[in-house]
Amino acid sequence: MSRFWSAVTHGLTPYVPGEQPKIDNLVKLNTNEHPYGPSPRVIEAIQAAASDALRLYPDPNADRLKLALAARHGVRPDQVFVGNGSDEVLAHAFLGLLKHELPLWMPDISYSFYPVYCGLYEIAHRIIPLTEDFTLRVEDYLPQGERRAGAIIFPNPNAPTGRLLPLEAVERIVAGNPEAVVLVDEAYVDFGGDSAIPLVDRYPNLLVVHTFSKSRSLAGLRVGFAIGHADLIAGLERVKNSFNSYPLDRLAIAGAVASVEDEAYFQKSCRKVIASREALSTQMTELGFDVLPSAANFIFARHPSRDGAELAAALRQRAIIVRHFKAARIDQFLRITVGTDEQCAALVTALREILHA
């Protein structure tokens, strides 16, 4: 604490990112990083961009990347916004599109950065509990009399639960709130869901946010994007250019473009993760875990007779790190990133030893 801090700084409860330990021979299954590297074309593009041109500023609009994303998703370039990871894209959206007199609605169990942004930007918000089985109920997000949302945000698939809301259910929420921006955070959608991006031309209140950190194996590059109506994107551009005109450097733009252009590699690597997730879910169930259905690159599981924190600690003693949350309702769950088949096998072997010890 310092007397020089502002009142906002004093009141913040910062987001705590997943641990990035510096331990050799570690099975790291705690931050939902892709188990396989990016397309070789990405590495080649970054190496080619690492030239004398680095003395020059990058394109502030990242037009090459916007064009590539627009072509892939069937939208116009003016419907695409890019930023320094989806966290920055979300931050700009919170300030520029989600802050209104009426409260922002969000699930009680979702990405834990959302309440942090509300604190940072002093956004009134309403927490809506998921159901007993951790699903999002559409009816809870529809206006009821005087009860209306200023804006709505939710991840799909949800994090940390991994549960997927079908696209028709997402559309019901968007269509049912024509006066409110609905932001769908699709960080994990490529691992088993249908994106809401095809809906953006029908609904001017819909914004869909993606990241290159998960399905495109580029967590270290920091690239995210949003797709929506051109008016929403223009609002994000106003915020971005009032904060940092150059969010993506030359290497990030080159690498991200190369990733988008290598569709075959992208699809193949996603299929590998999906297959490993299904196998891991089956093995965890056979060990007695309750495993929630997942459409992400992680699973969310608890054991009916073993404490979640103790299981996480026991795994750590065996050089395997998973994510344990202390939050209410989920403090007995472990969020486990889907690793390589070898990493998943090491996890299952360790859990078998712990449970039978």
Per DSSP, the residues of 245-283 read: S--S-HHHHHHHHHHHH-HHHHHHHHHHHHHHHHHHHHH
The residue among 250, 205, 256 whose CA lies nearest residue 232 is 205
Q: Per 3-state DSSP, what percentage of the chain is helix, strand, and coil (rounded to 5)?
A: 40, 15, 45
pLDDT value for 357: 55
What pTM was computed for the model?
0.95
Low-confidence stretches of the chain (pLDDT beneath 70): 357
Over its C-alpha atoms, the chain yields an Rg (Å, rounded) of 21
Q: What residues contact 160, with CB distance under 8 A and at least 6 apart?
A: 109, 298, 300, 323, 325, 330, 333, 335
CB distance 321 to 315 below 8 Å: yes
Q: Which residues pair with 185 in a beta bridge?
A: 155, 209
